[in-house]
Amino acid sequence: MSSLNSTVSPNVAFVQPQFFYINGFSNIPHVKYYYIFLCFVYAVTVFANFFIIFIIYEEKFLHTPKYIAVLNLAVIDICESTALIPKLIDTFLFDSQFITYEACLANMFFVHLFTAMQSLTLVVLAYDRFVAICFPLRYHVIMTNSSMLVIIACIWVFTATIIITLVLLITRLTFCRSIIIESYFCDHGPMYHMACNDNSPNSIHAKICIAVFSFVPFSLIVLSYVCIISALLKIASGEERLKAMKTCTSHLMLVIVYYVPFFITYISALMSVIHPNTRIICTSLSSTIPPMLNPIIYTLKTEEIIGAIRKLYKRNTIITAVVNQ
């Protein structure tokens, strides 16, 4: 591997290597079983999310602001898994660890874009629940299909702008010491730390991204639920409180699945030194498991989705019976 590091001369003022070498999952025993597990995760993710998209598209009563946001989340889950898992399998299972400079930047952009979009979509869903419970009489005025589409379009543009800036800042770096990325994809953090020139703009922008796409969304979600709980405490009937909270159950589970693994890994890294392989396994799981669980949680924990599935099943049963006659 030392030959890879010596491919670029440190005397050159500015170096953009032709390729990088992705070095994640090195020296992990029986790691091929993990890749097989990720193949299973990817298959379930794609099938489950396409199923949610199909159900929402087919059933007209699900054409509401809430389920427009859920459909957006399903699309993001498919895109995030597709940007990450197939390339990861190709890289490590088939020993294709070299990646061109341009492909590496593209990989960085798409993985970070969809990860950030998942976080912001959870905020949008929290906002929907906040309006529904705190302002029930004005919900259909505030939350319309058009307003939800505008919100989703805005967060797509906002997120893409921030992530494009993140990637463009990489292009100002020179890599004269190493081209080995200690991660399982073209991860921004390990890459900018490899630079020979000043990487402080990259460091600052990385911290901004962590704040904007992790801590601020989580804080907004917590704040929304503080307001929701406060509103529910004013409801006299305990049965009405329980009914209102049931509409939030699936969203709360998505928030836990997405944020808890991230914060555990992040806080552990700050408090102690984590072995690179442990960090890579933890971050890869926290990136691949939520997109698989999101549609399953919504299918099992949302009465509207269960009702839509039953309705669709009955309709198909009737059609099949008519055709067979």
Query: pLDDT tens-digit profile of 70-104?
Result: 999 999 999 999 999 999 888 888 878 899 999 99
Per-residue pLDDT, averaged over 129-135, amounts to 92
In a domain, 77, yes or no: yes
In a domain, 44, yes or no: yes
Per-residue pLDDT, averaged over 212-221, amounts to 94
In a domain, 11, yes or no: no
Per-residue pLDDT, averaged over 240-266, amounts to 85
* Percent of the chain predicted with pLDDT > 70: 91
Residues 151-165: tens digit of each pLDDT: 999 999 999 999 999
Domain tally, the chain: 1
Q: Residue 293 is part of a domain; what is its CATH number?
A: 1.20.1070.10
In a domain, 2, yes or no: no
In a domain, 122, yes or no: yes
Determine the pLDDT at residue 171.
92
In a domain, 174, yes or no: yes
Q: CA-to-CA distance for 78 and 50, rounded, in angstroms?
A: 8
Residues 301-324: tens digit of each pLDDT: 777 888 888 887 777 676 666 666
Which residues form the domain of 166? Answer: 18-324
In a domain, 201, yes or no: yes
Which residues 6+ apart lie within 8 Å of 197 measured at CB?
Answer: 14, 172, 173, 174
Kindly report the average pLDDT of the chain as a whole number: 86
Angle CA(1)–CA(110)–CA(4) in degrees, nearest 5? Answer: 10
- Give the pLDDT band (50/70/90) at residue 16: confident
In a domain, 210, yes or no: yes
